[in-house]
Structures are given as structure tokens and as C-alpha cells.
Structure 1
């Protein structure tokens, strides 16, 4: 009974992300899920911060777009091998191609024009600011007359 009360008191956006991530994990098979980068989503008073672990890539490998409040993050990495002039051959090669796509439905109260992305040390970070009216306001004392 306590869990139901706690869930009902959750912030609407936190509940949305929790529900989304749970549905996404159950709908992917484990083999496919292992190829999709895991994501951390942090909510602050002013913004959402999305972190995605994607080591071994360059920022040029990513495509990030926003269409009708749907944030799409995808990447395509194809390893090119030039064996000219050397006698080395792979006996087995399994990691010459890598691609993924993740999508997130953003709430209406984010500043879509101010989203920023940065890739550094294998971590893709997106900063998604909230509109002023959605930011948490400090507690206000009410004067009794």
C-alpha cells in the first residue's frame, strides 16, 4: 500500500521516464538491449540532463534531432580497414559496424531551442532546459490576515 502512495506522489515527469524505461526494457530482447547504450536522466529544478554511455565514438558519428517534442539520438559507426601492403588477416571479426537509435518524448514545458549536447570521454550529455513557468519555485510564506 505504501508503494502506491509513493508512486502517486511522484513528479509527473519522473513517473513518465520511469514508465517509459520500464516499457522499453520489457519490449527489447536481451540480445538487442545489450547493443543499445544505457541512459541516465537527471532532473534538476532548471533542466533535465541526459547522459548516454557511448565509448569509442566521435561526435561526428552522432545525429541528434528534435521533431514535434520527440528527441532522437542515433549513431552510425563503420570501421574501415585498409589491409594494403600487410599480411595480417582477421580470423574472426565481429565489431566492424555499430549503430543505434534512442528516442525520448519530451514534455511541452522544455525549451526546445536551447537544448545543448556535448560528447567527451565516451559520454554523450544533453542539457534540456525547462521553460520558466515549469521551474520549481521556492516555498512562499502566506500571510494570515
Structure 2
């Protein structure tokens, strides 16, 4: 017998109350969730007048684990980590932030400077700075209203 949470506060328009709760319980279970979520780190992308910035949250890795490649305006960030089994290895009941291998690809705009890409890994975050070409840098000025 399986216990299924029923939420009486949740108002839905179905003919059978609790019917949606059963499916929510099944598909929100960690067994299905772990298989439906892609195991790639989250990324933040921002822009300043001089650069684009990519931040990738990848805790538990070393900077040697990362490989950054640029191929025809596509920046590929990959990690392939080989886990060594030891006698002291922990027996996890749930493990959400382990990345054995992944690839994230970002298409750079034409205005990106290929020679101005810098990367730094600290505190579990890979920070990539991509310089803009001179003609792509935004010019700011005050416009007079007549």
C-alpha cells in the first residue's frame, strides 16, 4: 500500500478531488524527478558595456576538471570527472550536486572578441568573462530634447 498526500486546501476543477494530487505525488517523487531533471549546472549570463559574463554553479569540482573550448563562435564548457571508490566513501541517500560529466554550450555573438575570454573558478562558481569588440561597445550619451 502506498500513502499519497492529499491537499484539501488545493482547489481544482476536476470531478474527482484528489485525482491531481495522486499524479503530483507520483511525478514529484525523487525517483522520477532525478531522472527528469538534466544534470547540468545552472548558469547566469549578464552584460556590462565592456564584457559579457557567464557564471556556472558547479560546487565540488576543481579548476582542473573544466575544459573550455571555442569552436566557430560556440563556447563549450565540459567536465569529465572520474570518481574513485574508496572504503571511506559515504553512502548517500540523496545526492543532488554531483556532476560526473556534463557539457554546456553557449553561442557567442559576432561582436565577441575571441582573444578576450578569461575564466576563473572560485567558491564553486566558474566565472567566464568575454570581451566585446570595440565596435560593439555601447556608447552612452545624453540626448538633448528640442
Q: What is aligned with 2:81?
A: 77
Q: What is aligned with 2:125?
A: 123
Matched, 1:67 2:61: no
Which ranges in structure 2 are unaligned for 5 or more consecutive residues? 1-32
1:82 deviation in Å?
3.5
CA deviation string 1:7-43 (max 9, x = no partner): xxxxxxxxxxxxxxxxxxxxxx983544110000001
Q: What is aligned with 1:139?
A: 141
| SS of equivalent residue, structure 2 residue 100 | strand
Which ranges in structure 1 are unaligned for 5 or more consecutive residues? 1-28
Cα pair distance change 1:80/1:49, threshold 3 Å: same
Kindly indicate whether the alpha-carbon contact (under 8 Å) linking 2:52 and 2:131 is maintained by their aligned counterparts in 1: yes
Cα pair distance change 1:104/1:30, threshold 3 Å: farther
Across the two proteins, how many residue pairs are aligned to each other?
111
The whole-number CA distance in structure 2 between the counterparts of 1:60 and 1:80 is 16
Cα pair distance change 1:117/1:91, threshold 3 Å: closer
Task: Give the TM-score of the pair, scaled to structure 1.
Answer: 0.66
The whole-number CA distance in structure 2 between the counterparts of 1:137 and 1:112 is 21
The whole-number CA distance in structure 2 between the counterparts of 1:47 and 1:77 is 30
Could you say what the CA RMSD is over the residues aligned between the two structures, in angstroms?
A: 2.9
CA deviation string 1:36-84 (max 9, x = no partner): 100000011111000000000001101100011000001011211234x
Q: What is aligned with 2:104?
A: 102
The whole-number CA distance in structure 2 between the counterparts of 1:47 and 1:100 is 25
Q: What is aligned with 1:51?
A: 55
- Greater share of residues in helix: 1
Kindly indicate whether the alpha-carbon contact (under 8 Å) linking 2:43 and 2:56 is maintained by their aligned counterparts in 1: yes
Kindly indicate whether the alpha-carbon contact (under 8 Å) linking 2:51 and 2:129 is maintained by their aligned counterparts in 1: yes
